[in-house]
Amino acid sequence: MDSHLEDLFTLLRFPSISTASEHAGDVRACADWLVQKLTGMGLGVELHETPKHPIVIARNDHREGRKTVLIYGHYDVQPVDPVELWDTPPFEPVIKDDRIWARGATDNKGQLMAHLLGVEKTLQEKGELPVNLIFLFEGEEEIGSPNLVPFLQAHKDELKCDVIAVSDTGMVAKGVPTMGYGLRGIACCEVLVTGPKGDLHSGVFGGAVANPATAVARLVASLHDENGKIAVDGFYDDVKPLENWEREMWAQIPGVSDEDVLRITGAPEAFGEPGYSSAERLWARPTAEVNGVGGGYQGEGSKTVLPAKAMAKFSFRLVPDQDPADIQKKVKAHFEKHAPKGVKVEVVVGHDGKPYYSDPHSEDGKAAQRALEKAFGKQPVLIREGGSIPIIKDMQDILGADSLLLGLALPDCQIHAPNENFWVENFEAGIKLNGYLLEELAKG
Amino acid sequence: MDSHLEDLFTLLRFPSISTASEHAGDVRACADWLVQKLTGMGLGVELHETPKHPIVIARNDHREGRKTVLIYGHYDVQPVDPVELWDTPPFEPVIKDDRIWARGATDNKGQLMAHLLGVEKTLQEKGELPVNLIFLFEGEEEIGSPNLVPFLQAHKDELKCDVIAVSDTGMVAKGVPTMGYGLRGIACCEVLVTGPKGDLHSGVFGGAVANPATAVARLVASLHDENGKIAVDGFYDDVKPLENWEREMWAQIPGVSDEDVLRITGAPEAFGEPGYSSAERLWARPTAEVNGVGGGYQGEGSKTVLPAKAMAKFSFRLVPDQDPADIQKKVKAHFEKHAPKGVKVEVVVGHDGKPYYSDPHSEDGKAAQRALEKAFGKQPVLIREGGSIPIIKDMQDILGADSLLLGLALPDCQIHAPNENFWVENFEAGIKLNGYLLEELAKG
């Protein structure tokens, strides 16, 4: 285990924050280290430049008649703000209470390394792999993978595969192996509201000039009715209704009840779209979430200004069969329709990605479930996921292969938040899983 | 003029930000400098300690049979954020385009120095003043004067006076002398909304947990109807209706039309309570203004979190005969009534101050109007003010004296905002005004 942890810690020390331009060099250094590591494993490695962060590809010697398996991961991470809430520095990994603590520990460096080290172990023990393998590691997942789709399109033939394996999703609870067959999509946008040319004294000018912070708040508030139902015209038009077997299975799954969600998040009460359980709200219903709102004076004490501008950042989580482009259009129209008087409202459309759905009972799906059972000693549960990995849908569309979502994240692993962590036992199980997975897929 | 500007620049160089605890020493140093300056003028000076920032009192020799005039000013200033929007450093005063640029240039150090130097000039030229004078300079106006009322109550007898002069308000336009007879009051509060114990991944948890940023936006939005009328129950109950002579006079005053407000502020269109002109909205109608709102990720790019908390800071501008305590109660009840489900809402009541109104046609009022006419060579206009100086009402209540509001601020002087400035010609006229004022008041 020691050398495995050493490799993971090295990877975690790169502050590879893809959204922050000042970290571009760190993202690059992280990719370079992966190239070196994969080359050392005896694989054929390529580093592909993109307009932003590089893509790393590695392959064993491919032979006719074997199944081709593509394993996808990403080596970029989310920002670390508010950094003062971290108990230990985000890019100085430590083990404490049987967990690895660092930005990226779970999302996605820990899981990427489980793939990589599982393959390394098989190579070391057996000298070869039972399948044709392609590793595809990108550095732009946290900014919506802007350059991966063009890359896939340009390298469609070299990346041809039968099935894809991805560990970038979650387990419902500790010790409960989990296979995902659906993901929410995403559509992001930002609203900028401007009013006066500079901040104004709220006494001298208040009352005769519209307040951009009030305006942005009215726009945020316009997204939901008071019960949490989304109020954008036509938003639910294409939502695929839940199937009965899903509602029944999910009601039995440990760790995703309303009470579990409250315990894990610390939220004071369950809240969401009326008529659905927490699991159903998270996995099969869309959302309209404000990720950040800001305007005016936010410091100590009071400052009686009428702010010149205010903004809000939004992400909409989408479910099959919602189309992100359609939702972006509807949301933009909504904001324009609800634009308060007296201010200028600008809607900046951001990145998006389609929701994903595949049949969990396919041959490869069953092979993956056998591998999960071997690695964890327990039968896996079948779920969808609340998070978005747009690339899964893109790979389905471009490469024509479904993805097996074999996530190792736990609900309290704090991904995208301070104190991100990864259980050491999940890291170990993940390494084993990647050995069994190639074996089982080769049988199918 | 040179020595006058030198004195003002010295005063402006103290970063006497009363709300920021790290600037307490600067506030103190500023008071010490005033003590030294006033002592040098031959006045009897006292520095009074308070639980926070000191009060400076100065007197000439008081004689029986003369009118006693109290002149009030404040030497503290507002914060300077966002400091990057200043063209020159806020505490390094410069003259550029015939204006003095610095934090406090107008509010209130420039006007305070006009009082002080007008008195100094009379003393230098005539050897004595025509009235008994009391200077009262405080260092807590920008944080709501928490220690001034107790001080006034404790020193009621020594501060007994016939009339009070204050230059902490505005002129309607350049070259138009202006006397104020009314001020809006204020009531401040802050709303803190908390949800989950930490920021959450908006995909993993979005939909099943209420979003505090959405909740705070809904609370902000609840304050107004879509036309800008305040929606707090009973908010307008005690508002004194505008008198006809006020509406008629204000419609003639230059610089306060809807178009003027747009030109000065750069706002894209006039907006406010239906049925009133901009001047009426600013001077005689109450407001509900959000001074700051914040929650979640506000940095570059996107970060798809569901924030753990969000907040908004509010100030309500009040008019006669609204009572701040009553409004605080109504606002708190409003926020509690509208508290969204799924989050905790805490309302923190802040500082407040009563609105002010006095008869502009009193003997002292007429004397002040004569002094204004002499200083500016033009008949003054009579206005109310949109800003709040709670202490004016407190002095009326405790000392039993009305205040003459002889403001020298211009609408584009950027008080409380970046690039605060003061016209040199207003500084000069203010110095003259303070000579004429004591003469005219002595006649009455």
pLDDT digits (tens, 9 = 90+) for B351-364: 998 999 998 999 99
Q: Which residues of B touch A20 (CB under 8 A)?
A: 300-301
Q: What is the pLDDT of residues B46-82, one digit of tens each?
A: 999 999 999 999 999 999 999 999 999 999 999 999 9
Structure tokens at B393: 């009402």
Q: Smallest Cα–Cα separation from B15: which of B82, B111, B92, B117?
A: B92
3-state secondary structure of A79: coil
**Residue of A19, A84, A101, A211 to mutate, interface with B, max B Cβ within 10 Å:** A211
For residue B206, the cross-strand partners are B209
Report the chain B residue with the minimal C-alpha distance to residue A308. B267
CA-based nearest distance A272→chain B, Å: 5
**DSSP character for A355?**
-
A305–B291: do the CB atoms touch at under 8 Å? yes
Angle, CA of A299, A300 and A304, to the nearest 5°? 75
B317–A291: do the CB atoms touch at under 8 Å? no
Q: What's the rounded Cα separation, in Å, for the pair A75 and A71?
A: 13
Q: Which residues of B touch A348 (CB under 8 A)?
A: none
B287–A206: do the CB atoms touch at under 8 Å? yes
CA-based nearest distance B253→chain A, Å: 16
| Mean pLDDT along residues B390-400 | 91
Closest residue to A415, CB basis, from B78, B197, B204: B204
Q: Which residues of A touch B171 (CB under 8 A)?
A: none
**Residue of A52, A291, A349, A391 to mutate, interface with B, max B Cβ within 10 Å:** A291
Note the pLDDT of residue B411.
Answer: 80
Structure tokens at B149: 């009322």
A217–B217: do the CB atoms touch at under 8 Å? yes
Minimum mean pLDDT among A205-209, B225-229, B290-294, B390-394: which range? B390-394
Closest residue to B210, CB basis, from A203, A271, A418: A271
Structure tokens at A381: 């549960």
Contact B278, B272 (CB under 8 A): yes
Q: Which residues of B touch A267 (CB under 8 A)?
A: 195-196, 209-210, 342-343
CA-based nearest distance B280→chain A, Å: 9
Q: Which residues of B touch A291 (CB under 8 A)?
A: 202, 213, 296-297, 302-307
Note the pLDDT of residue B1.
Answer: 66
B209–A285: do the CB atoms touch at under 8 Å? no
CATH of domain B185-239+286-353: 3.30.70.360
A297–B202: do the CB atoms touch at under 8 Å? no
Structure tokens at B392: 């004016």
B281–A207: do the CB atoms touch at under 8 Å? yes
A300–B20: do the CB atoms touch at under 8 Å? yes
| Mean pLDDT along residues B217-223 | 98
Q: Which residues of B touch A218 (CB under 8 A)?
A: 217, 220-221, 226
| Mean pLDDT along residues B112-118 | 98
Q: Please name the amino acid found at residue B136.
A: L
Q: Which residues of B touch A340 (CB under 8 A)?
A: 226
A386–B207: do the CB atoms touch at under 8 Å? yes
Contact A186, A353 (CB under 8 A): yes
Q: Which residues of A touch B278 (CB under 8 A)?
A: 208
For residue B315, the cross-strand partners are B188, B289
Closest residue to B208, CB basis, from A198, A208, A270: A270
**DSSP character for B240?**
P
A151-159 contacts, C-beta under 8 A, 24 or more apart:
A151/A48, A151/A50, A151/A55, A152/A394, A152/A395, A152/A398, A152/A399, A153/A398, A155/A48, A156/A398, A156/A399, A159/A70, A159/A134, A159/A399
Q: What's the rounded Cα separation, in Å, for the pair B265 and B262?
A: 5
A272–B19: do the CB atoms touch at under 8 Å? no
**Residue of B21, B256, B416, B420 to mutate, interface with A, max A Cβ within 10 Å:** B416
Contact A196, A204 (CB under 8 A): no
Contact A322, A286 (CB under 8 A): yes
Please check the confidence at residue B168 and state whether its pLDDT lies above 70: yes
Q: Which residues of B touch A411 (CB under 8 A)?
A: 204
B188–A344: do the CB atoms touch at under 8 Å? no
Report the chain B residue with the minimal C-alpha distance to residue A21. B300
Closest residue to A205, CB basis, from B194, B205, B386: B386
Q: Compute the count of residue pairs across chains A and B with CB atoms less than 8 Å apart.
A: 384
CA-based nearest distance A124→chain B, Å: 36
Q: Please name the amino acid found at residue A96.
A: K
Please check the confidence at residue B389 and state whether its pLDDT lies above 90: no
B272–A186: do the CB atoms touch at under 8 Å? no
CA-based nearest distance A274→chain B, Å: 10
A296–B301: do the CB atoms touch at under 8 Å? no
Closest residue to A271, CB basis, from B209, B303, B415: B209
Residue spans per domain, chain B = 2-183+356-443, 185-239+286-353
B210–A228: do the CB atoms touch at under 8 Å? yes
Residues in chain A, overall count: 444
Q: Which residues of A touch B214 (CB under 8 A)?
A: 220-221, 223-224, 289-290
Angle, CA of A237, A241 and A245, to the nearest 5°? 175
Q: Which residues of A touch B293 (CB under 8 A)?
A: 213, 216-217, 293-296, 298, 310
CA-based nearest distance A211→chain B, Å: 7
Mean pLDDT, chain B, whole residue set: 96
Q: Which residues of B touch A85 (CB under 8 A)?
A: 198
Q: Smallest Cα–Cα separation from B202: which of A186, A181, A145?
A: A186
CATH of domain A2-183+356-443: 3.40.630.10
Report the chain A residue with the minimal C-alpha distance to residue B267. A196
A297–B293: do the CB atoms touch at under 8 Å? no
Structural element, H or E, at residue B356: strand B356-357
Helix count (H) and strand count (E) of chain B? 12, 18
Note the pLDDT of residue B205.
Answer: 94
A221–B220: do the CB atoms touch at under 8 Å? yes
| Mean pLDDT along residues A298-327 | 96
Q: What is the pLDDT of residues A213-230, one digit of tens each?
A: 999 999 999 999 989 999
Note the pLDDT of residue B375.
Answer: 97
A294–B289: do the CB atoms touch at under 8 Å? no
Angle at which helix A2-12 crosses helix A109-126, to 10 degrees, equals 140
Note the pLDDT of residue A1.
Answer: 66
B224–A205: do the CB atoms touch at under 8 Å? no
Note the pLDDT of residue A23.
Answer: 97
